[in-house]
Structure 1
Amino acid sequence: MTMLPGLEAASLPADAIEVGRIADAWGIKGWFKVLPYSANPEALFAARQWFLLPTEKGPQPFTGAASISVKESKVHSDSVVACVQGIGDRTDAEALKGSRIFISRAAFPAAAIDEFYWVDLMGLEVINREQENLGTVKELLSTGPQTVLVIESVQDGKPVERMIPFVSAYIDDVSLPTKTIRVDWQLDY
């Protein structure tokens, strides 16, 4: 199977993070709509190289991983649109529909002080002020006004799940180098 124009065969970087999916073609000049997985897709806008894996459903216009060089990506109306080198018409853009978009974690813009990418919090150990291990971060939930850490642990041989609001009232410290989050939270909450 031949590679579409604009796509080059590639391997996903070891630090690749899935950040979105191509929704459909946009216009007639090769632009396409992107469904970002983040409400603030700064990584999509900052990265000039995206990696794609083909859709799991329907026709696959390419196999394996591919890389694309982004010419421009921006917010348009209520969605994100992008154009890449080598894709100049609607037909080629439509062929990418459903493709999964990955970006190297190293290409993400630096987070501001006291801001964290969710992907960096996954798997961190959560320890309270009494030095009790509450478990590890399994996922994060956006509840509107705040984000909630979903913590997974095992107690008495049974899986236990805790939810801790990711707000300064309960989060004392996040240390990415030591892979820990210190919290004001008790085992029996």
Structure 2
Amino acid sequence: MAQHDSDGVKRGRASFGAFVRKPVERSETAGADAQRDPGAQQDTDARQGSLEAVTAWPDDAVEVGAVLDAYGLKGWVKIGAHADAGRGGDVLLSARRWWLQRGADRRSAKITQAKTHGDTIVAHLAGVDDRDAAYALRGFRVFVRREDFPTLDDADEFYWVDLIGLDVVNEQSVALGKVADMIDNGVHSIMRVEYPATGKDGQPATAERLIPFVGVYVKTVDQAARRIVVDWEADY
């Protein structure tokens, strides 16, 4: 997100764009064991049978975390989120349905309860009623539909995922490239803008420029026009 501080300058905060970029540690043990042992795979499938297997995947699904482990004895799972609560991780608390993927296995789950627990989020998925069933979900990546993200209260706040892909131009209408990624340096967000260039061998190449996502440089963000106007020269 970017937001105005009291001095009127927009400050950056990590948000949903980090969901599609930032990895979390997760165990693939359950999936690996199942591949070695067909019987284990069948047992895993039985434990996950309460979750809905899906073939149609939402077009606006955004990865927001991964299942790290079981939590407790009653079917709760522990999620490593790609953003903290208050910085985008809130969607895991507010969304009533998650979409889960591990390899080619895709499932949908209704969320009955979710809450923060230290630097993780713990949740109960409908139909997952014991520790074994929760443990079998380790390694699933967790997605939430973009339409389920909480509404931002400030007009100067943005989800990273909505900025990626926007054209960047300067105030003289010179095209600077497209937002390929967002970076959080701990103080503010930075746009990584890619643009076509020519390599040392004379062949087409892709170059990048890093533009701080702060008010002194970012003048307007027009999501409808898919354009960001910045005070930045092409030769910076």
Q: TM-score, with normalisation over the residues of structure 2?
A: 0.74
- How far has the Cα of 1:14 moved from its partner? 1.1
- How far has the Cα of 1:138 moved from its partner? 0.5
Structure 2 unaligned spans of 5+:
1-41, 199-203
Structure 1 unaligned spans of 5+:
57-62
Kept in 2, the 8 Å contact 1:6–1:84? The answer is: no
* Alpha-carbon separation, structure 2, partners of 1:6 and 1:148: 42
Matched, 1:86 2:127: yes
Q: Deviations over 1:89-144 (max 9, x none)?
A: 11000000010111111111112311111111110000000100000000011100
- CA RMSD, Structure 1 to Structure 2 (Å): 1.4
* Alpha-carbon separation, structure 2, partners of 1:6 and 1:37: 26
Matched residue type, 2:93: F
* Alpha-carbon separation, structure 2, partners of 1:73 and 1:22: 13
The equivalent residue for 1:178 is 225
Between 1 and 2, higher relative CO (CA 8 Å, sep ≥ 6) is seen in 2
- Between Structure 1 and Structure 2, the one with more helix by share is 2
For residue 119 of structure 1, the aligned residue among 141, 161, 164 is 161
Kept in 2, the 8 Å contact 1:5–1:92? The answer is: no
* Alpha-carbon separation, structure 1, partners of 2:159 and 2:50: 30
Q: TM-score, with normalisation over the residues of structure 1?
A: 0.91
The equivalent residue for 2:178 is 136
Q: Deviations over 1:6-34 (max 9, x none)?
A: 30022221111111100000111111110
- Aligned positions of 1:30-179 closer than 5 A: 30-39=75-84, 40=87, 41-54=89-102, 56=103, 64-112=105-153, 113-156=155-198, 157-179=204-226
SS in 2 for 1:33: strand
* Alpha-carbon separation, structure 1, partners of 2:65 and 2:135: 16
* Alpha-carbon separation, structure 1, partners of 2:64 and 2:116: 15
Structure 1 runs (4+) deviating above 4 angstroms are: none
- How far has the Cα of 1:158 moved from its partner? 3.4
- How far has the Cα of 1:84 moved from its partner? 1.1
